[in-house]
Every structure is written in structure tokens, then in C-alpha cells.
Amino acid sequence: MPRPHSNDPGSVFVFGSVNIDLVCRVNSIARPGETVLSPRYEQLFGGKGANQAVAAARASGEGGRVSFVGAVGSDDLGVAATEQLKAEGIDTDGLQIVSERTGCAFISIDARGENAITVASGANRLPEAAKIDPSVFDKANILVLQMEVPLGESLAAARLMHAAGGRVVVNLAPVPGDLSRDDLTGLVSEADILVVNESELEAASALSEGAGGTVAEKAADLSRRFGLAVIATLGAEGVIVSQMDGTAQTIPALAVEVVDTTGAGDTFVGVLAVALSSGLSEAEAAGRAAVAASLSCRKVGAQTAMPRAEEIEAALAGRP
């Protein structure tokens, strides 16, 4: 149930990571000990947090509805990433400039559009929730979190958002290698909506010693036990939205020719957040987000391929 919120409705606050993505196209992704060649690399804007903010800003169709706080270095990459976010109409006033270098992601994309990513976190290890201007929480009704910045800072931001009366969307991506059962419990108890892909759902179920079974059964089990909505994204198979009352809906994806899936999950989360902030239900919001995520797979790169509001509307209108 949406919590009552007296503040300006319809604004999204993303707290998370910023990266510069160095992207190589390869026939097949290098295995341990193997070297593969790629003709060239592209330097693109990325980071799950920044990507989600960009997806939200584009889907909102107007400026000023999205704020972003993360951390960048005082290097050229940090300046470029900040300018890019501003150019998308995102409020970056709270961006923190820290002593580490701006985060970088090293991405290989194979011939089927699948990817492998290594992130050098750098500045993403240092954003602090305590430094966020309280007015950012007052303005927003949805906070979006992912897992590329320290968990403790994300939890602190979630508590501040709840104190201000808003809702919290947690995207459990990527699942930290050292995530404990207590960490997961802390995280889901600060979340109103949990967004996971299949492997993240598997990890969450295993860590919390949940019921086995199908994706739908695992999502339903997490929803009931932790009292939150769980949205499981299944790529071309669509999305399952599971509510704590045991109801579940399956929403189809849009069929597209896949070039690169990098950032599809971030597109889903950003578009979901904007739709929720406008008052749509979880299932309605997930329907829009699933279409946007499919559209984002048609080009190389995360932010490069994210659709704008008009493209999402057109795809929704043309959908059988």
C-alpha cells in the first residue's frame, strides 16, 4: 500500500553508483586464463544508479522530476559523467566529489548480446547518506537503491526516505559477494518493492532460507515472509509481480531484436520508479517498465539505448 505522503507527488530520488563504461564487442566472453580480441572499445556513461536516474528522467518526459546523489572523483571522467546527468535534466546538486577516482566498468558483450561486467568501484565506495540535503527526501515520493554503493549508506538513505513519508524501491543488483542473511533481512525490511532478476531472486531465496520451487513461488514466498512487493524480471519471458497478499501477475516483455542487454534492468527500475511516483500500481508500473526495458536492448550501451516517454507510449499503444 502506498504510504500517505504530503509532499509534492511524482518525483524520484536515486541514490547510487556512477561509472564510465568501457565496452568491447567480442565473439565470446573470455574464460579464466583466456585472451580474446575485440576490434575497438567504446567509452559510454553507466553505473547502475546513474543509469536508473537517466531512465527515469527520459520516461518522465519532463525535467526536474529526478534527483541523483552518488560520488565521483575530481577527475575528467567524473566531470563528464556529471555533465551527462545534468544534460538529461537530472538534479545533481547533491553529487559528492571524493578522493577516489570515478568508477569504471569493463564490459564485454558477446555475439548473442549477453554481457560480463567488472566494476572498479573507486568513488562509488564513498557516497554518504548523512551528507544528503534533507530537502531531497522531502521533494521525492520514491527512493531508488541498487547495490553498487555501500549497503550501510543505502540503508541510511532508506530510513531517511521512510521518515519523510516516501516509498523505497530496492534493486538487488549486483548481489554483493559478501551479503549475509542479516544484511538481506535489513535491506528487505527497508524496502517497499524489491526488484530482482532470476539469479538475484535465487540468491535472496537461498540466503533467507526461503521456499524453493518456480520463480513465481520464490517471489511469492519472499513477498509474504518480508511483507513487500517482489518484482522478478525474466528477460524475454517478461515480469512477475508478486504482492504480499499472495496475488501475482505475469506481464509479457516486448519482442525485439536483442543487440545488447546491458542496462535493461536499470531501464526497468528507472521507468518503474517514475510510474510508481505518478501513482500507478506496481503491476501497471511494471507493464510500462517491461516495455521500456525491451526497447533498451536494441542498441549497444546502457544509457545509449534507453527510450524516451514518447517511444514507450508508442510501443504500449502498438502492443497487442
- Based on CB atoms, which residue is closest to ligand RIB, 21 or 91? 21
Q: In this complex, which beta carbon is closest to ligand RIB, that of residue 291 or of residue 302?
A: 302
Sheet with 19-25, strands from edge to edge, namely: 41-46, 19-25, 103-109, 115-120
Q: How far is the CB of 21 from ligand RIB (least distance, A)?
A: 5
Q: How far is the CB of 13 from ligand RIB (least distance, A)?
A: 19
Q: How far is the CB of 30 from ligand RIB (least distance, A)?
A: 18
Q: Which is nearer to ligand RIB, 4 or 177 (CB)?
A: 177
| Pairing, β 115-120 against β 103-109 | antiparallel
Work out whether the CA dihedral 244, 248, 253, 259 comes out positive or negative: positive
Distance in Å, CB of 50 to ligand RIB, minimum: 8
User: In this complex, which beta carbon is closest to ligand RIB, that of residue 164 or of residue 297?
Assistant: 297
Cell of 78: 567524473
| Shortest distance (Å) from residue 267 CB to ligand RIB | 9
Q: Would you call 266 a catalytic residue per the annotation?
A: yes
Q: Are 268 and 243 in contact (CB under 8 A)?
A: no
Cβ-contact 67, 12 below 8 angstroms: yes
Q: Which stretches of the chain bind ligand RIB, using CB under 6 A?
A: 17, 19, 21, 46-48, 51, 105, 117, 119, 148, 262-263, 265-266, 302
Tell me whether residue 148 or residue 192 sits nearer to ligand RIB (CB atom). 148
Residue nearest to ligand RIB (CB): 46
**Residues taking part in catalysis:** 266
